[in-house]
Chains A and B, each alone.
Chain A
């Protein structure tokens, strides 16, 4: 199949590649760019493991063709840490609050939560739950994921998050 040239910015770096028109963005990210932190749990837009941030929106990258992302600005889990390489508040929150087990949903969860907190820096528990409803976790039962996001929201405001992981 004829290939098409695409360029985009991923985690701040200009990247390019040749893709078939049908190549899913998630495959472009994982196979061409070798950024394997973005996971695949269903390929049918149900699980959110493949969530990346595109031009300020959370997008399930199995739902988009790579050519549709041509020219866009993408952040994946690999671009979530602080500039100095330390864990971001969200990443630290997931660790402190035991918000992950197998870690398979985690990149998508963190990328999604990042956008959620951009849009709503002080979400209620219900808003967090609704905000991550596109991301399935099979391991944690979500309770500690909610706390991880609350932890990050508190940290961003410079306050200590009190509640310890149970």
Chain B
């Protein structure tokens, strides 16, 4: 040792492993405009496809005339359902066990539904062709209100299901009914309500919205007739699943399908499913023998590819007079639009909505969900949340506030009184989940101390008095939200997609010079996997993160994985990385023992290599072991240093957090100001705090948008009235509040590195915080529940209906 020998701290820092705010490797290319997104893919002779879409929400398609379109210069083909029928692709299966029209087959069921696909030499010519396709429609009665879907005289939407009394998830009660899903003990729950001292009941709606990543859904399909191979570049959050789906429905051999997800411009759930554009582009490439690109425009994105939410939740809580909850009863009416294209694990028609008992120790609960059809776009996807978890969190967090109001209790106190206690973990919820770990009281108290919650309540009380005295026209709301998520789908015992268990994977190859590559089954859409995955490996095997390249999104080279959504990458793939790295380390230990001429058990791991116990100078670095792996392995051992892990998680992970929103609303204009927003997240072990904070900022901003105005709204005729960024609320830097972030760390006991996932927590916890703030602001005027979204106009309407506008 001399002065130049790095200290242990320096050696650890040089790795840039877990816990380090490592700067992102992706940013070098992104800041220079050198990302490679799907629309940047240009192939020789590439054609462009564009859709003819239905102006009607419900109509019979009497005829489609393509003659004039085919005369347009540059137009090569127009594909209709009739064309698709020749290859048996007029309909496609959905992830939810339903079927969906690829192109209108006899009728259209929602506005902007895909009717025909025009293929031309460039996007302008394709658009010219679209305008020349003549479709003769006969309008039919339109159904937009899900509460009317199951009326006896409701129009029949899905004629293809005529006579089918059973769907993918059991019996159907009505021609517009999809499924009924029921969880929990009804008898015990009813009994709890019968003897309850206090009950509340409220219909809490979570409106229809849309994930709307800045890059829309798009693909390039290229079919090589000679080799019989199909290559698809697409905005896919789950490229392997897309490959398998294509193999199954297009009956192509799976080894001849190459799916590539290049850089993706945000996903938020929008890019999980399979859309007609992908099928049509693939068929068009097969038909024309040329590569075909399909790029959806923004209006198409908002109106046709996967909405989110549209859950209408009748919620009841039973409690004692002093505020101990004794039962929960929820009925959900779920509007899926024209086809059930919900992107959930296959056996879960309402996702993991049965996390609706939240962070509270409900002794009994019962939940039923009825899925129905309507003349709206099909879906729905999990918009920055695990499957239907944000709906569940909103439901319980709003309901707890309503209960607090009825009891005259502080919402934070009510929560503290009912939290699952630290010593109850692993905790079995009344609706069937096993929560892995949590320390809710600590998180909540930290939030209350950090924000000086008591002082804020005092200020609110004073402002309310001042309002009553007519001294101010502003009302102040405190929105408390304490959420528990369920992410990391998931264990093969309960999660699959089309029969494929929801494991995830990592393959690590170390090169002789002490560098390596990790290939993954996941696919970043902005989460920074190229940066964070290397950090996990760096900490596990002592090779600097900078020396590890992470590759995702190529199904030919990556091990099979289920992709990135539902905050599953860190819980599932993050574990696979650690396990693969540990296999590497185990082999490295054998090599080091051989080289250092000791028994393996005499070695101990020391940051970036193995040291002989008790002989600190006898050390072999991981870098040197990599070299040795290629020239001097122990006799009988295969050379090389690589490993693959397919990780089937034993359980989900359960991140949680305590949020507070402080809001002031002017009753005369409905204009609100978010004075303060504090978010404490506990996502277990923190891999890269900088990226975690970034994820929280982004998720909170989306939560803000959703709660305060972002809605896909239909008029009675089934026309989308919020189909562009003009009408669909997209907060800019001006509207977006400043975010304060904080954390506690409660590692997951079953995860190899204790990490739980964070990307979606802020959306799940943020929406109830905003909505509770608005509701709390108005509650002293006598309201119990105001539906989202809380835009200025609706706030003004709320004030008006409460009689405070004079």
Are B697 and A103 in touch, CB under 8 angstroms? no
Output the nearest chain B residue to A22 by Cβ-Cβ distance: B124
Chain A residues closer than 8 Å to B732, beta-carbon distance: 129, 132-136, 142
Are A138 and B124 in touch, CB under 8 angstroms? no
Q: Is B525 an interface residue (CB 8 A)?
A: yes
Mark each residue of chain B from 202 to 243: 1 if its CB lies under 8 Å from any CB of chain A, else 0. 000000000011111000000000000000000000000000
Chain A residues closer than 8 Å to B30, beta-carbon distance: 100, 103, 106
Within 8 A of B (CB), among A30-88: 30-31, 34-44, 46-47, 49, 76-78, 80-81, 87
Are B33 and A35 in touch, CB under 8 angstroms? yes
Contacts A76-B33, A103-B27 known; A165 to B693 CB distance under 8 Å? yes
Chain B residues closer than 8 Å to A94, beta-carbon distance: 27, 31
Are B298 and A102 in touch, CB under 8 angstroms? no
Q: Is B666 an interface residue (CB 8 A)?
A: no
Point out the residue from A20, A107, A130, A137 that lies within 8 Å of B33, measured CB to CB. Answer: A107
Q: Is B155 an interface residue (CB 8 A)?
A: no
In the docked arrangement, what's the CA distance between A96 and B42, Å?
Answer: 32
Within 8 A of B (CB), among A142-158: 142-146
In the docked arrangement, what's the CA distance between A110 and B24, Å?
Answer: 17
Q: Is A95 an interface residue (CB 8 A)?
A: yes
A30 → B minimal CB distance (Å):
8
Output the nearest chain B residue to A105 by Cβ-Cβ distance: B214
Q: Is B511 an interface residue (CB 8 A)?
A: no
Are A140 and B698 in touch, CB under 8 angstroms? yes
Chain B residues closer than 8 Å to A144, beta-carbon distance: 694, 697
Q: Is B783 an interface residue (CB 8 A)?
A: no
In the docked arrangement, what's the CA distance between A101 and B526, Å?
Answer: 4
Chain B residues closer than 8 Å to A142, beta-carbon distance: 697, 701, 732-733, 736
Point out the residue from A104, A140, A164 that lies within 8 Å of B21, measured CB to CB. Answer: A164
Q: Is A163 an interface residue (CB 8 A)?
A: no
Are B736 and A102 in touch, CB under 8 angstroms? no
In the docked arrangement, what's the CA distance between A106 and B215, Å?
Answer: 12
Output the nearest chain A residue to B298 by Cβ-Cβ distance: A42
Q: Is A166 an interface residue (CB 8 A)?
A: yes
Chain A residues closer than 8 Å to B318, beta-carbon distance: none
B218 → A minimal CB distance (Å):
10
B678 → A minimal CB distance (Å):
13
Q: Is B19 an interface residue (CB 8 A)?
A: no
Contacts A139-B266, A146-B733 known; A102 to B24 CB distance under 8 Å? no
Q: Is B28 an interface residue (CB 8 A)?
A: yes
Chain A residues closer than 8 Å to B733, beta-carbon distance: 128-130, 132-133, 135, 137, 142, 145-146
Q: Is B5 an interface residue (CB 8 A)?
A: no
Chain B residues closer than 8 Å to A98, beta-carbon distance: 23-24, 690-691, 693-694
In the docked arrangement, what's the CA distance between A27 and B123, Å?
Answer: 10
Contacts A98-B690, A98-B694, A136-B214 known; A42 to B21 CB distance under 8 Å? no
A121 → B minimal CB distance (Å):
19
Chain A residues closer than 8 Å to B693, beta-carbon distance: 98, 165-166
In the docked arrangement, what's the CA distance between A119 and B34, Å?
Answer: 27
In the docked arrangement, what's the CA distance between A43 and B218, Å?
Answer: 15
Chain A residues closer than 8 Å to B123, beta-carbon distance: 27
Contacts A39-B265, A110-B31, A136-B732 known; A34 to B42 CB distance under 8 Å? yes
Closest 5 CB pairs of A and B: A37-B33, A103-B30, A102-B526, A104-B265, A77-B33
User: B-contacting residues of A (Cβ < 8 Å)?
Assistant: 20, 22-23, 27, 30-31, 34-44, 46-47, 49, 76-78, 80-81, 87, 91-92, 94-96, 98, 100-107, 110, 128-130, 132-146, 164-166
Given A98-B693, A107-B33, A140-B694: 12 more A-B contacts, CB < 8 Å: A35-B33, A37-B32, A41-B215, A76-B33, A98-B694, A102-B213, A129-B733, A130-B733, A141-B701, A143-B738, A144-B697, A166-B741
